[in-house]
Structure 1
């Protein structure tokens, strides 16, 4: 029996005094994965990613899980992943994948590969002048400002006629400025889940009335989706354009652009929620992918 680690954080660990309102997603994730791993002869252990290295001594493979605070502890997080890989543990997804994916400038690289993406102005310290420049560049009254290293819409702003940039506003971190796409409210966002190189399931995420953020933390909801063939092809092309062959998991998030085609918002490869409610085979698919990686490591050491 191999112990499989599932990394969590203070905000998602059961029993934490500072547990997030959306931490029920952690519970659903574990509920789908634990029995599938048990049936495969493995034991799942949830562990805080900030635990001492000794706590991982007997864990053979580590899932990044629900490390939903890494964006505020980037250096420490990357250092821990390096240390875990150096200890011989398999990371899913690996530290090289995380380094590429942690800064959203990877989207510019995806665009260079021909993946349609949301137009973006990259700035180190965004100011009101940068927002105005983005308005002119994208011919959009509404501009979304996001952290380049961020997650879950934290530290995100929507500027427009009804919510102007505050006087003297300056972002504390490098930001990305994008035109607001109305489809995020009218049609929602699509998430295409891939497990071990193969499509798994697709869902449509909708924001609460009066909001544009689709995360459950802000009242967003999601349902299983049956996309068109054109949309499936767009998502597959984005997935195939990743610079890593068949990561254990990937979530391709897309929204419809003004010309009617899907645009890549994010390729989530670090700690995305994978929506087991809409993908009942998720646990088994992940368990099978984990088994392949454990077998490959065992064969490489014999």
Structure 2
């Protein structure tokens, strides 16, 4: 089994523009490589926009640290189409195309998955933000790009503050204070099976929980009800993904609400879940493949 781990120029070692959080790429590749080599396989990291890449040489391609895809979305999706014409792609292009736009949350809400109330805006003008404050009856909002990742272009806005310029279509939500009290719980699934969970918390004075903003994470043992809630969100999909990170936040009623269902390029925390690579190898042997190819 020769696996291609799909990256980008900004996460590959040796890049002159390497991201500050690219060590997460190194952790993923190290974990996967150790597991695959122990089972007679190997892993090669390739930038998704490498025009010289021979996708046919790989038994499968796993989308990994492609952390610039959302600013080059059409190009990225076109490359995924080329990959699927040559080998197995995980997750499938169809799933990626659906998941790359945050409006997928509307689909999941219709399927009964608890989600955070959201106002969708093509342009988050001051008038739209004022309307959101009234609609949600809150004093703090969070505005996020409808196509984006890693907190890029995200804003927390308090009532009465100046509204920043937001040049992208945005999703606007009431700020959920429990992100500061308990934190965000991330459930890691491989081949549709729950593997482990983490609690991610923000540093003092910050609300974003990503590592590039100083966020911290620790392994936790969720209750059976919490695991069931994450599993139910994943079960709402039409296909079983190779990997998924289900990010959830506890509501005022004690139940979990879906923040994001990460199916494209989520970091899967291999240090906290060292069994991750072995689970991926096993899933690749057993998971039915569903291609977007016509």
Regarding TM over 0.5, the answer is yes
User: TM-score normalized by structure 1?
Assistant: 0.92
Relative distance call for 1:110 and 1:231 in structure 2 (3 A) is same
Q: Work out whether residues 63 and 90 of structure 2, in 8 Å CA contact, stay in contact via their aligned partners in 1.
A: yes
Structure 2 partner of 1:157? 155
Q: CA deviation at 1:272?
A: 0.5
Structure 2 partner of 1:115? 113
Structure 1 partner of 2:64? 65
Q: Secondary structure at the match of 1:144?
A: strand
**Structure 1 residues 165-221: Cα deviation after superposition (integer angstroms, max 9, x where no partner):** 34xx44211110000000001110000011001100000000111100000000001
Q: Work out whether residues 6 and 62 of structure 2, in 8 Å CA contact, stay in contact via their aligned partners in 1.
A: yes
Q: Tell me the distance in 2 between the aligned counterparts of 1:53 and 1:180.
A: 45
Structure 1 partner of 2:22? 23
Q: Tell me the distance in 2 between the aligned counterparts of 1:232 and 1:50.
A: 36
Q: Tell me the distance in 2 between the aligned counterparts of 1:220 and 1:27.
A: 18
Q: Work out whether residues 145 and 177 of structure 1, in 8 Å CA contact, stay in contact via their aligned partners in 2.
A: yes
Q: Work out whether residues 128 and 170 of structure 1, in 8 Å CA contact, stay in contact via their aligned partners in 2.
A: no
Q: Tell me the distance in 1 between the aligned counterparts of 2:264 and 2:20.
A: 21
Pick from 126, 129, 140 the counterpart of residue 128 of structure 1: 126
**Which stretches in structure 2 are left out of the alignment for 5+ residues?**
none
Q: Does 1:91 align with 2:85?
A: no
Pick from 273, 293, 296 the counterpart of residue 267 of structure 2: 273
Q: Does 1:225 align with 2:224?
A: no
Q: Tell me the distance in 2 between the aligned counterparts of 1:230 and 1:194.
A: 16
Q: Secondary structure at the match of 1:145?
A: strand
User: TM-score normalized by structure 2?
Assistant: 0.95
Q: CA deviation at 1:54?
A: 4.2
> RMSD across aligned C-alpha pairs, in angstroms?
1.6
Structure 2 partner of 1:300? none
Q: Tell me the distance in 1 between the aligned counterparts of 2:155 and 2:165.
A: 12
Q: Work out whether residues 53 and 84 of structure 1, in 8 Å CA contact, stay in contact via their aligned partners in 2.
A: no
Q: CA deviation at 1:131?
A: 1.0
**Which stretches in structure 1 are left out of the alignment for 5+ residues?**
298-302
**Structure 1 residues 99-128: Cα deviation after superposition (integer angstroms, max 9, x where no partner):** 110001000110001110010000111111
Q: Work out whether residues 201 and 215 of structure 2, in 8 Å CA contact, stay in contact via their aligned partners in 1.
A: yes
